Structure 1
């Protein structure tokens, strides 16, 4: 009995380690590549629009393929899909480091995104499947902390690697770490038992959802760039509507609409995630412009100031997740969203003479708020989903995150275009930038206020677990 418990603890440690490493890697790659874009542009003699696809190709494919891979994982094994994702991540990191031209780099980045979608859709599901309900908040908090660590370390370490070793070594480092995670996953992770099911994979649903989601995310994030993104956004929204109608009639749907109908906790927790990311994702982008253009700070100094928010998130996400194991997630998460709402409103009042200590304090305040929201909300989503749909539930939550991020940047672009009218970010434009910043944060505060009610409306989670 003692040996069995020891083996179970060892297995749990390996699962947490490899899932945490994978979550760190995907976040680190996403944030560090931004620092390498200028260097990549110099080597390939490429313009800003072409270089944008080095980032966008990854985001579009990872978002579009989340749901299909989540469903495949539920049907055929989450460990299998997770291992395949790590294998692809390591392989396409290596191929990206060797890319001889920009088009081939963009192609490998798109494949990189597809393999990352396998990881996004299974890492959380594996943690929830292998850990008991009373420990979920703690391990999900650790996993969320790994994501924030990757996001905060990416710009710093990515800048150092790119500056001293070159952008190709940045991908090379990710390939080595990805390979290390793959070795652990293959040698130490046991495949979870898959119940034989006569269900088939919904290929027609996948063929409709993948381009529709890609069109929505590209259209929303590039809304201000002309007619084509607007058209793609409309077509993508129409495609998603058709997808939902089709799934409600499909015998073995890619997305079981009944998940939303049968569980208010699942529905409102995902809605809260969408609203939260919509209202907070653009904070670092706006404040970075405020610090450099309005306050005249150098980029390096601005970056150090912005670092305080993710550092606070890293420190408090694990205890916040653990707290949601004891208290109802809706209480902890709603408190976090309330703090974010206050922080967003305070940012809408800032001006060119606001003490820098207040800027830092408010970033820390919002970092604490998002730590209270994120892991408890993830705990609520996964705990309210049936075990057979953990992969789909994880994928839906990831889709809400990416849609929220795209919408957040679309709102910023719309407001900035309204006030700045295409002006460059120079000191002369500081008054207009400050005005547009205040309006954007006020809009986001209103979004976040609505999110508090969505978060509170999810109902009880732990009571349902005890009754189940």
Structure 2
């Protein structure tokens, strides 16, 4: 790489590192937030889902904005928006204002991830591009690992507000470096923004999520629950119908005509819903029931996070050689065994044998799953469409997590205790087994070797 390419890669890594870090750092701070601001499990759900809702609903639109307005311009907008929202989160005096700031943070995060990747793909080619994307992926993985430990340390020392305040420094450095980048971030000629699709998709997701979170407090019979639930469902159907006829759709539904892409994304729904439930309930249980400090609760996530860091490349290579099908079937099944091991957790708690082996087994299953899953999905689509295919899969995984967290209150039954913990890990295990069966039945190794060109329908 020359100096300019190194600078571009550094900008891309820093710009995406911040939202990826934020996605993992918040879990460990939830109990401290609720203790100060109140609201119980509903506040926890909205702090997570407010961010995921705007992020998942807008990440595809952000890709269009990056093409139509220019990648650097969208990246700057995302950095500024994320930074301002982070300061607002750090200063929020009430739970409502914190949640509102988290929604804005999600908008900023949606602008950052596709733009940072787009700058890489437009500035590198061939083997250099593959290496740059690999470095980008590796550093975002570090963000997931560092998040819980760093968050726990901040919560236990200077307070939960600093998990948001700390974002300002890397954002400022990224903006400074970005001001020195020239070229490689121009507009794409003829690109258009699917505004109607963005509005329908956002409202179609927001209504049911609101109903799922608030039904325990208001009741299913409340108009404040029924209207958003039914109205959101209607709007989401309208969103899908609109995407079928849009000239430049935010969600190219034609991609789902490819078997491995469709089946892989269905498996993604099950796997990532489990990933949103299982690790979250472990972190909350350690703090709220066991009474562990935030740092130790975050540190407990390290074993499961380190295994993918060292072995994901190995299993990705094996999937490339032998096909993804059985890795995608065996990996989630092993992960399910890891979650079921957590049923050994009892009131007389012992982390070393009741929880740690399960977390390690889960980490191994996750490692076997993720790289082959990505390979099967992207390998089914021609290279020219891999960017939008990746964005769609990213959005699917975020929506799966969004809906899973929305069900958290119903799963807990109002409060987190040992029985609720056991219910949650059983549900996470069942979801992983559904992902395993979906992959075993639906994924075709032959299809992964034959890249299928998919054309977006035009009016």
Q: Which category describes the TM-score, using the shorter chain as reference length?
A: 0.7 to 0.9
Aligned match for 1:255, one of 245, 251, 254: 251
CA contact (8 A) 1:121 1:398 kept: no
CA contact (8 A) 1:140 1:321 kept: no
Q: Does 1:70 align with 2:63?
A: yes
**Cα distance 1:356–1:27, how it changes in 2: closer, same or farther (>3 A)?**
same
Q: Does 1:215 align with 2:211?
A: no
Which residue of 1 is the match for residue 150 of structure 2? 157
Which residue of 2 is the match for residue 282 of structure 1? 277
CA drift of 1:207 comes to 2.0
CA contact (8 A) 2:339 2:428 kept: yes
SS, match of residue 464 in structure 1 = coil
Q: 2: distance between equivalents of 1:193 and 1:250?
A: 24
The TM-score with structure 2 as length reference comes to: 0.79
Which residue of 2 is the match for residue 232 of structure 1? 228
Indicate the larger mover: 157-166 or 113-122: 157-166
Aligned match for 1:457, one of 420, 423, 444: 444
Which residue of 2 is the match for residue 314 of structure 1? 309
Which residue of 1 is the match for residue 292 of structure 2? 298
Q: 1: distance between equivalents of 2:159 and 2:146?
A: 17
Which residue of 2 is the match for residue 3 of structure 1? none
Aligned match for 1:203, one of 195, 214, 219: 195
Q: Does 1:270 align with 2:252?
A: no
Which residue of 1 is the match for residue 457 of structure 2? none
Two-structure CA RMSD over aligned residues (Å): 3.8
Aligned match for 2:423, one of 408, 432, 436: 436
**Cα distance 1:342–1:172, how it changes in 2: closer, same or farther (>3 A)?**
closer
Aligned match for 1:28, one of 21, 31, 41: 21
Q: 1: distance between equivalents of 2:117 and 2:378?
A: 8
Q: Unpaired segments of 5 or more residues in structure 2? A: 454-459
**Cα distance 1:383–1:179, how it changes in 2: closer, same or farther (>3 A)?**
farther
CA contact (8 A) 2:337 2:362 kept: no
Q: Does 1:117 align with 2:105?
A: no
Aligned match for 2:77, one of 77, 84, 97: 84
**Cα distance 1:274–1:139, how it changes in 2: closer, same or farther (>3 A)?**
farther
The TM-score with structure 1 as length reference comes to: 0.78
Q: 1: distance between equivalents of 2:196 and 2:251?
A: 12
CA contact (8 A) 1:264 1:459 kept: no
Q: Unpaired segments of 5 or more residues in structure 1? A: 1-5
What are the equivalent positions in structure 2 for 1:126-165 lying under 5 Å apart? 126-128=119-121, 130-132=123-125, 140=133, 142-165=135-158
**Cα distance 1:229–1:23, how it changes in 2: closer, same or farther (>3 A)?**
farther
Q: 2: distance between equivalents of 1:397 and 1:127?
A: 19
Which residue of 2 is the match for residue 395 of structure 1? 391
Which deviations, in whole Å up to 9, do the C-alpha atoms of 1:168-208 show, x marking residues without a partner?
A: 443332011112123333323633454422x5323222221
CA drift of 1:444 comes to 2.2
CA drift of 1:277 comes to 0.5
Q: 2: distance between equivalents of 1:186 and 1:460?
A: 44
CA contact (8 A) 1:121 1:394 kept: no
Which deviations, in whole Å up to 9, do the C-alpha atoms of 1:285-321 show, x marking residues without a partner?
A: 3445676799x57356554333211122233345555
Q: Does 1:335 align with 2:327?
A: yes
